[in-house]
Amino acid sequence: MTNARTTRERAAAMRQQEQAKAKRRQKLVVAGVIGGIAVVVVAIVLIVIFAGGSSKKTGPIALPAGVSGNSGPIVVGTGAAKLDLYEDFQCPSCGAFQKASGPTIAELESGGKVTTNYHLVSFLGPESVRAANAAGCARDQGKFMPFYNYLFAHQPAEHTGGYTSDDLIRSGEAVGITNPAFNQCVTSMKYQDWVTNVNSAAFDNGTITGTPTVFVNGQKIDNPTSENIKQAVNSAG
Protein backbone atom coordinates (compact mmCIF):
# COMPACT_ATOMS: atom_id res chain seq x y z
CA MET A 1 0.00 0.00 0.00
CA THR A 2 2.87 2.38 0.83
CA ASN A 3 4.45 1.88 -2.60
CA ALA A 4 1.12 2.41 -4.34
CA ARG A 5 0.48 5.56 -2.31
CA THR A 6 3.98 6.86 -3.08
CA THR A 7 3.49 6.20 -6.78
CA ARG A 8 0.19 8.10 -6.81
CA GLU A 9 1.76 11.01 -4.89
CA ARG A 10 4.70 11.19 -7.33
CA ALA A 11 2.36 11.10 -10.29
CA ALA A 12 0.16 13.82 -8.77
CA ALA A 13 3.20 15.98 -8.06
CA MET A 14 4.43 15.60 -11.62
CA ARG A 15 1.00 16.45 -12.99
CA GLN A 16 0.96 19.66 -10.89
CA GLN A 17 4.38 20.57 -12.25
CA GLU A 18 3.16 19.98 -15.80
CA GLN A 19 0.19 22.26 -15.23
CA ALA A 20 2.42 24.97 -13.72
CA LYS A 21 4.69 24.81 -16.74
CA ALA A 22 1.89 24.71 -19.30
CA LYS A 23 2.10 28.38 -20.23
CA ARG A 24 5.84 28.19 -20.74
CA ARG A 25 5.55 25.07 -22.90
CA GLN A 26 2.88 26.77 -24.99
CA LYS A 27 5.33 29.58 -25.75
CA LEU A 28 8.00 27.20 -27.03
CA VAL A 29 8.43 27.48 -30.79
CA VAL A 30 9.89 25.24 -33.40
CA ALA A 31 12.78 27.18 -34.92
CA GLY A 32 13.93 26.70 -38.50
CA VAL A 33 17.47 25.36 -38.79
CA ILE A 34 18.86 25.10 -42.35
CA GLY A 35 15.46 24.32 -43.82
CA GLY A 36 14.62 21.98 -40.94
CA ILE A 37 12.60 22.25 -37.78
CA ALA A 38 13.85 21.54 -34.28
CA VAL A 39 10.99 19.82 -32.48
CA VAL A 40 10.62 20.58 -28.80
CA VAL A 41 10.18 17.36 -26.83
CA VAL A 42 7.85 17.41 -23.85
CA ALA A 43 9.70 15.98 -20.86
CA ILE A 44 7.52 13.43 -19.09
CA VAL A 45 9.84 10.89 -17.50
CA LEU A 46 7.97 10.69 -14.19
CA ILE A 47 4.60 10.68 -15.93
CA VAL A 48 5.51 7.20 -17.11
CA ILE A 49 4.49 6.16 -13.61
CA PHE A 50 1.09 7.83 -14.07
CA ALA A 51 0.62 6.29 -17.51
CA GLY A 52 1.99 2.86 -16.70
CA GLY A 53 0.75 -0.51 -17.75
CA SER A 54 -1.23 -1.13 -14.53
CA SER A 55 -4.29 0.45 -16.18
CA LYS A 56 -4.07 -1.68 -19.32
CA LYS A 57 -7.34 -3.35 -20.31
CA THR A 58 -7.29 -7.06 -21.13
CA GLY A 59 -9.77 -9.28 -22.89
CA PRO A 60 -12.03 -8.25 -25.77
CA ILE A 61 -12.42 -4.48 -26.15
CA ALA A 62 -13.91 -2.24 -28.83
CA LEU A 63 -11.39 -1.29 -31.51
CA PRO A 64 -11.58 1.27 -34.35
CA ALA A 65 -11.86 -0.06 -37.89
CA GLY A 66 -8.66 -1.69 -39.11
CA VAL A 67 -6.88 -1.65 -35.73
CA SER A 68 -5.13 -4.91 -34.90
CA GLY A 69 -4.56 -5.75 -31.24
CA ASN A 70 -5.82 -4.13 -28.06
CA SER A 71 -3.12 -1.46 -28.17
CA GLY A 72 -2.64 -1.33 -31.92
CA PRO A 73 -2.04 1.94 -33.79
CA ILE A 74 -4.10 3.41 -36.58
CA VAL A 75 -2.28 2.53 -39.79
CA VAL A 76 -2.09 4.79 -42.84
CA GLY A 77 -0.22 4.06 -46.07
CA THR A 78 1.22 0.95 -47.71
CA GLY A 79 4.90 1.80 -48.17
CA ALA A 80 7.78 -0.51 -47.36
CA ALA A 81 9.33 1.77 -44.74
CA LYS A 82 7.60 1.79 -41.35
CA LEU A 83 7.12 5.08 -39.52
CA ASP A 84 5.90 5.01 -35.91
CA LEU A 85 4.57 8.34 -34.71
CA TYR A 86 3.69 9.02 -31.06
CA GLU A 87 1.65 12.16 -30.39
CA ASP A 88 -0.84 13.59 -27.90
CA PHE A 89 -3.53 15.79 -29.46
CA GLN A 90 -3.16 18.22 -26.54
CA CYS A 91 0.64 18.50 -26.77
CA PRO A 92 1.73 21.95 -28.07
CA SER A 93 4.98 20.55 -29.47
CA CYS A 94 3.01 17.94 -31.40
CA GLY A 95 0.92 20.73 -32.90
CA ALA A 96 4.09 22.52 -33.99
CA PHE A 97 5.53 19.27 -35.34
CA GLN A 98 2.40 18.60 -37.39
CA LYS A 99 2.45 22.09 -38.86
CA ALA A 100 6.08 21.66 -39.88
CA SER A 101 6.31 17.98 -40.85
CA GLY A 102 2.75 16.78 -41.37
CA PRO A 103 2.75 17.65 -45.10
CA THR A 104 5.98 15.71 -45.61
CA ILE A 105 4.58 12.64 -43.88
CA ALA A 106 1.39 12.88 -45.95
CA GLU A 107 3.50 13.10 -49.11
CA LEU A 108 5.49 10.01 -48.14
CA GLU A 109 2.26 8.12 -47.44
CA SER A 110 0.52 9.11 -50.65
CA GLY A 111 3.67 8.39 -52.65
CA GLY A 112 3.80 4.81 -51.40
CA LYS A 113 7.05 5.37 -49.51
CA VAL A 114 5.90 4.70 -45.97
CA THR A 115 3.36 2.97 -43.78
CA THR A 116 2.65 5.15 -40.75
CA ASN A 117 1.55 3.76 -37.40
CA TYR A 118 -0.27 6.53 -35.51
CA HIS A 119 0.03 5.88 -31.77
CA LEU A 120 -2.42 8.33 -30.16
CA VAL A 121 -1.10 8.71 -26.63
CA SER A 122 -3.12 10.57 -24.01
CA PHE A 123 -0.94 11.33 -21.01
CA LEU A 124 -1.93 14.98 -20.67
CA GLY A 125 -5.42 14.43 -19.29
CA PRO A 126 -9.07 13.84 -20.15
CA GLU A 127 -8.96 16.25 -23.09
CA SER A 128 -6.37 14.03 -24.71
CA VAL A 129 -8.39 10.89 -24.00
CA ARG A 130 -11.53 12.39 -25.55
CA ALA A 131 -9.63 13.49 -28.66
CA ALA A 132 -7.94 10.11 -29.17
CA ASN A 133 -11.26 8.30 -28.75
CA ALA A 134 -12.89 10.61 -31.30
CA ALA A 135 -10.05 9.97 -33.75
CA GLY A 136 -10.86 6.28 -33.49
CA CYS A 137 -14.50 7.12 -34.20
CA ALA A 138 -13.42 9.12 -37.26
CA ARG A 139 -11.43 6.11 -38.45
CA ASP A 140 -14.68 4.14 -38.53
CA GLN A 141 -16.08 6.76 -40.90
CA GLY A 142 -13.07 6.70 -43.22
CA LYS A 143 -12.09 10.21 -42.10
CA PHE A 144 -9.18 9.62 -39.77
CA MET A 145 -6.60 11.81 -41.54
CA PRO A 146 -8.90 14.79 -42.19
CA PHE A 147 -10.09 14.64 -38.58
CA TYR A 148 -6.55 14.20 -37.22
CA ASN A 149 -5.32 17.20 -39.23
CA TYR A 150 -8.30 19.30 -38.18
CA LEU A 151 -7.76 18.62 -34.47
CA PHE A 152 -4.13 19.68 -34.64
CA ALA A 153 -5.00 22.73 -36.73
CA HIS A 154 -7.57 23.77 -34.11
CA GLN A 155 -5.67 22.64 -31.02
CA PRO A 156 -6.91 24.30 -27.80
CA ALA A 157 -4.51 25.53 -25.16
CA GLU A 158 -3.29 22.73 -22.94
CA HIS A 159 -5.32 21.93 -19.80
CA THR A 160 -8.14 24.36 -20.62
CA GLY A 161 -10.93 21.79 -20.91
CA GLY A 162 -10.84 21.67 -24.70
CA TYR A 163 -11.84 18.84 -27.00
CA THR A 164 -15.25 18.50 -25.39
CA SER A 165 -17.70 16.04 -26.94
CA ASP A 166 -19.49 18.94 -28.61
CA ASP A 167 -16.18 20.31 -29.93
CA LEU A 168 -15.26 16.93 -31.35
CA ILE A 169 -18.64 16.38 -32.97
CA ARG A 170 -18.39 19.80 -34.61
CA SER A 171 -14.88 18.90 -35.76
CA GLY A 172 -16.30 15.79 -37.37
CA GLU A 173 -18.93 17.85 -39.16
CA ALA A 174 -16.19 20.20 -40.37
CA VAL A 175 -14.44 17.32 -42.17
CA GLY A 176 -17.62 15.90 -43.65
CA ILE A 177 -18.67 13.28 -41.09
CA THR A 178 -22.47 13.12 -41.10
CA ASN A 179 -23.19 9.64 -39.74
CA PRO A 180 -24.97 9.81 -36.33
CA ALA A 181 -22.93 6.76 -35.32
CA PHE A 182 -19.90 9.04 -35.06
CA ASN A 183 -21.66 11.29 -32.54
CA GLN A 184 -22.69 8.26 -30.47
CA CYS A 185 -19.15 6.88 -30.61
CA VAL A 186 -17.77 10.19 -29.36
CA THR A 187 -20.25 10.76 -26.53
CA SER A 188 -20.17 7.16 -25.30
CA MET A 189 -16.36 7.06 -25.31
CA LYS A 190 -16.62 3.80 -27.23
CA TYR A 191 -12.88 3.36 -27.60
CA GLN A 192 -11.75 4.50 -24.15
CA ASP A 193 -10.23 1.09 -23.30
CA TRP A 194 -8.28 1.10 -26.54
CA VAL A 195 -7.05 4.65 -25.83
CA THR A 196 -5.90 3.52 -22.38
CA ASN A 197 -4.03 0.58 -23.85
CA VAL A 198 -2.32 2.63 -26.57
CA ASN A 199 -1.10 5.07 -23.94
CA SER A 200 0.12 2.32 -21.60
CA ALA A 201 1.90 0.43 -24.39
CA ALA A 202 3.69 3.60 -25.50
CA PHE A 203 5.22 4.17 -22.10
CA ASP A 204 5.86 0.56 -21.12
CA ASN A 205 9.56 -0.26 -20.88
CA GLY A 206 10.47 3.32 -21.78
CA THR A 207 9.42 3.01 -25.42
CA ILE A 208 8.98 6.77 -25.44
CA THR A 209 9.72 9.52 -22.92
CA GLY A 210 8.03 12.46 -24.64
CA THR A 211 5.97 13.62 -27.57
CA PRO A 212 6.28 13.88 -30.46
CA THR A 213 8.49 10.83 -30.94
CA VAL A 214 9.25 9.36 -34.36
CA PHE A 215 10.77 6.02 -35.35
CA VAL A 216 11.61 4.85 -38.87
CA ASN A 217 12.00 1.08 -39.15
CA GLY A 218 12.48 0.92 -35.39
CA GLN A 219 15.20 3.58 -35.26
CA LYS A 220 14.39 6.71 -33.30
CA ILE A 221 14.81 10.00 -35.19
CA ASP A 222 16.34 12.26 -32.55
CA ASN A 223 15.69 15.43 -34.51
CA PRO A 224 12.56 14.63 -36.54
CA THR A 225 12.61 17.47 -39.01
CA SER A 226 10.88 17.03 -42.36
CA GLU A 227 14.23 16.52 -44.06
CA ASN A 228 15.50 14.02 -41.50
CA ILE A 229 12.31 11.98 -41.69
CA LYS A 230 12.39 11.94 -45.48
CA GLN A 231 16.07 10.97 -45.50
CA ALA A 232 15.48 8.12 -43.02
CA VAL A 233 12.55 6.80 -45.05
CA ASN A 234 14.51 6.95 -48.32
CA SER A 235 17.48 5.24 -46.70
CA ALA A 236 15.20 2.50 -45.41
CA GLY A 237 14.30 1.72 -49.00
Mean pLDDT of the chain: 83
Cα separation, 75 vs 84, in Å, equals: 9
Q: Is 17 domain-assigned? A: no
- Type of residue numbered 83: L
Mean pLDDT (whole number) for 120-148: 97
Question: What CATH number is given to the structural domain containing 154?
Answer: 3.40.30.10
- 166-186 pLDDT, tens digit each: 999 999 999 999 999 999 999
Is the sign of the CA dihedral 12, 92, 155, 110 positive or negative? negative
User: Is 19 a member of any domain?
Assistant: no
**Is residue 50's pLDDT more than 50?**
no
Q: What is the mean pLDDT of residues 132-160?
A: 97
Query: What pLDDT is attached to residue 40?
Result: 33
40 found inside a domain: no
CA angle 18, 160, 98 (to 5 degrees): 75
Residue 44 lies in a domain: no
Per-residue CA distances from 203 to 11, 56, 68, 113, 125 (Å): 14, 11, 19, 28, 15
Please count the structural domains in the chain.
1
Query: Would 35 be classed as within a structural domain?
Result: no
What angle separates helix 92-110 from helix 144-153, to the nearest 10 degrees? 150
The distance between the two most distant Cα atoms of the chain, rounded to a whole number of Å, is 54
Q: The pTM is what? A: 0.78
Where in the sequence is the domain holding 73, given as residue range(s)? 50-236
Structural domain contains residue 43? no
Over residues 48-56, mean pLDDT: 46
* Residue 201 falls inside a structural domain: yes
